[in-house]
Amino acid sequence: MKDTPFTAVLRSEWLKVRTAPSLAGSLLAVLVATVGVGALITGFLGEAESDNPGFEPVSFAFFGLNFGQVAAICLGVLAVAGEYAHGTIHLSLAAVPNREMFYGAKLAVLGGLALAVGLPTGLITVVIGQTLLGEHGVGIGDPGVLRAGIGCGIYLTLLTLLAVGVTAVLRSTVGALGMLVPLIFLISPVVGPDVWFLPDRAGQQVLHPVPEGPLGAWSGMAVMAVWTAAALCAGLAVLRRRDA
């Protein structure tokens, strides 16, 4: 039996996203939450916060990313766990016996969509945020500003793929969210700013024109990419060895 052509598997995975309201909603929520909440906070509190020592207008504009990254996690989790919850994973693997091809197509579609939404999300957030800050803001051409917008899109993409890998291992919506949400929202704030090797802390260095701590903007992103690659490899290993 010949393997299903990769392009056909890509179309199948794209169709799953198009026809699943939860996945389309998660993609929309990434944009709306990051841009919308960031604009609200910047508009209402930006001028007051700008008087504080150490105020950083670029990273301040990304306040909404705290909520947008939850949507990115949900996208990755629901795209994988939903197939196991509804039993459609059996049909998917019957149609595509090559599990590496199936997994690769899912990663390509989800990663591509996350990047396609994440890049404009980051750039729009920067532009709106600095506009709302007025004289306290910076220009898109200033050092590190454009990089922050682009880096936000890459960060959201890696976070989505990290969620895919973790969910492929756990095969559970509750289990994956129960691991990832505390990792992002509880562990990093509790352990403090010096734990640079956590994926969110490392990846978000790119949002600072002058990164904090021992990691630079892109070296921090590289650390997050290692976390993501490890999760994806673990997910593939489980998919290979366990029945659907």
Tokens matching residue 140 = 């898109």
Specify if 99 maps to a domain: yes
CA 196-169-88 angle, to 5 degrees, is 135
Q: What does the block give as tokens for 155?
A: 């960060």
CA atoms of 60 and 74, how far apart (whole Å): 24
Q: Is residue 79 part of a domain?
A: yes
Kind plus residue range of the DSSP H or E element containing 124: helix 99-133
> Has residue 108 been placed in a domain?
yes
List, for residues 80-124, the tens digit of each pLDDT value: 999 999 889 999 999 999 999 999 999 999 999 999 999 999 999
Q: Taking a C-beta distance cutoff of 8 angstroms, is the pair 147, 216 a contact?
A: no
Does any domain span residue 195? yes
Query: Could you tell me the pTM of the whole model?
Result: 0.94
Total tally of structural domains belonging to the chain: 1
Are 32 and 92 in contact by the 8 Å Cβ rule? The answer is no
Q: 220 near 188, Cβ under 8 Å? A: no
Parent domain of 207: 6-241
Q: Which of 83, 80, 109 is nearest to 176 (CA)?
A: 80
The answer to whether residue 1 sits within a structural domain is: no
Q: What are 131-184's pLDDT values in tens digits?
A: 999 999 999 999 999 999 999 999 999 999 999 999 999 999 999 999 999 888
